[in-house]
Amino acid sequence: MTVDEVAIVGGGASGVLTAFQLLRRPDDPVRVTVHEATGVLGRGVAYGTSDPRHLLNVRARHMSAYADAPSDLLDWARRAGRDPDPLGFLPRMEFAAYLQDTLADVADHRLTISAGRVDDVVPVPGGFELHTRDRVTTAGTVVLAYGNQAPQELRELAGVPGLIANPWDLAAIRALPGDATVVIVGMGLTAVDTVITLLEEEPARRAIMVSRHGLLPFAHIEQQSTAWVSDVPPGPLTADGMAAFLEGQVAAARSHGVDWRNVVDGLRPQTQSIWMRLSTDERRRFLSTYARDWEVRRHRMAPEVGERIRGYRRDGRLVLVADGIGGVDVRGARTELRMPALPDPVLADAVVTCTGPLTDISSSTDPLLQALQRRGLVAPDPLKLGLDATPEGEVVGADGLPVPGLYAVGPPRKGILWESTAIPEIRTQAAEVARRVLAGVGGVLTTNA
């Protein structure tokens, strides 16, 4: 084993962008193995869909793998014979192909793709052993880029007929009866994509989306001017203070004829620094009071997606319900769900869980995360939104100290950075981790994220 061997666990967007940054310069002395259970890179949960109507929720001009080459995705689309709109929203499945092609452009003898799930990482002198079911490999550095975990299981739905626990099992959704009534638990972007697959091709189907808050993501607007950039107040911050600040900025923008979306987008580059200036108690206050209101404005639907959803609601095929589920009973092959906000129970042919990814690793059933915790190599962050880590991506173990040679990129760092799930932030993390790794093996990363 040598220090120039890097293992990346996870081959979705986070893993591919990290591999790309490590291999971007052909003279850097590093060898990279990407461990991906499916053996197919670039797809992951976010971009693995096979439904072309599932669109990115970020404009194409902001989705380049290179921060210093913002037109790269658009250039790729043109080379592929498309005529992309810089302000448009590409299909998610096309972005997966872009990630694959981007990595292929820098791939050489230094890249290995290992199919199979990593179930354990064992520290050994000089690095780590990575254990899969049928082999053991070694690396001087390990990058955890496993993305989002599966949705949290809902105990009240355990064993109900027609339960689809994986919302990305599109085959199961498409196989439902053409006149099915389906309850979708959750109202985030995954739930929105599920509704489109469910309803678009079968006009007799009906869907009920239910969540505690009853808040659906807002939609982008077709044309949007430059972001409204605000100077965040200096000194200590509070969740209530930031909410009042945002409200004031929205009012000021409105007085100049500027949409609130521009204010939210203007704050995006500052979100991580704002989060890190909040105390743990203030972060908890934000999560309990403001997080959902922020996220439905921050993570918006593409305009055409928003129009589809409005059409379903207008036609009576989609109903939004707040206040959650009050009770569940099995009625033969169907499930009766009682919801406090509805006068009558709903008899569902299927229930789809779209509650968002499980973030508390201490509750995870993933064999790797369980093994890493038993070894003390990882621990939950204080808010249990992911892994404990330094802002620079070094994983912090159970003893409260960084684990040499162990890094995290992407969603696992949400508790430390909050904004850690979108491509612009992930590509920056990937570049920072690559720079640190290459510095340790004698290489130099001179490009920006």
Q: Tell me, what's the pLDDT at 447?
A: 41
Domains located in the chain, CATH noted: 5-150+358-441 (3.50.50.60), 155-218+300-353 (3.50.50.60), 239-298 (no CATH)
On the CB side of 289, CA atoms within 13 Å amount to 13
Residue 443 has pLDDT above 60, yes or no: no
**Nearest 5 degrees, angle CA 380-CA 384-CA 385?**
110
213 and 292 Cβ atoms separated by less than 8 Å: yes
Residue 1: pLDDT band (50, 70, 90) is low
What residues form DSSP beta bridges with 5? 31
Q: What is d(CA 231, CA 245) in angstroms, rounded to the nearest whole number?
A: 10
Of 432, 395, 361, 362, the C-alpha closest to 123 is: 395
Q: What is d(CA 207, CA 418) in angstroms, rounded to the nearest whole number?
A: 31
Give the distance from CA 228 to its chain's centroid: 25
On the CB side of 308, CA atoms within 13 Å amount to 19
Q: Considering just the CA atoms, what is the radius of gyration of the chain in Å?
A: 22
What would the pLDDT profile of 363-373 be if each residue is shown by its tens digit? 999 999 999 99
Count of beta carbons in the 10 Å neighbourhood of residue 348: 25
Q: What is d(CA 167, CA 153) in angstroms, rounded to the nearest whole number?
A: 12
Q: What is d(CA 55, CA 219) in angstroms, rounded to the nearest whole number?
A: 12
120 and 136 Cβ atoms separated by less than 8 Å: no
Q: What is d(CA 319, CA 153) in angstroms, rounded to the nearest whole number?
A: 23
403 and 379 Cβ atoms separated by less than 8 Å: no
Of 140, 100, 102, 148, the C-alpha closest to 121 is: 140
> Tokens for 256?
């100049």
What would the pLDDT profile of 223-278 be if each residue is shown by its tens digit? 666 778 778 988 899 999 999 999 999 999 999 999 999 999 999 999 999 999 99
Q: Please state at what angle helix 303-314 crosses helix 189-199, rounded to 10 degrees.
A: 60
Handedness of CA 53, 300, 426, 403 (dihedral sign): negative
Residue 68 has pLDDT above 90, yes or no: no
Q: Tell me, what's the pLDDT at 322?
A: 97
Q: What is d(CA 17, CA 13) in angstroms, rounded to the nearest whole number?
A: 6
Residue 83: pLDDT band (50, 70, 90) is confident
Q: Lowest-pLDDT range, 35-49, 189-203, 299-313?
A: 35-49
Of 78, 46, 52, the C-alpha closest to 305 is: 52
pTM score, whole prediction: 0.93
Q: Taking residues 375-379, report their average pLDDT.
A: 98
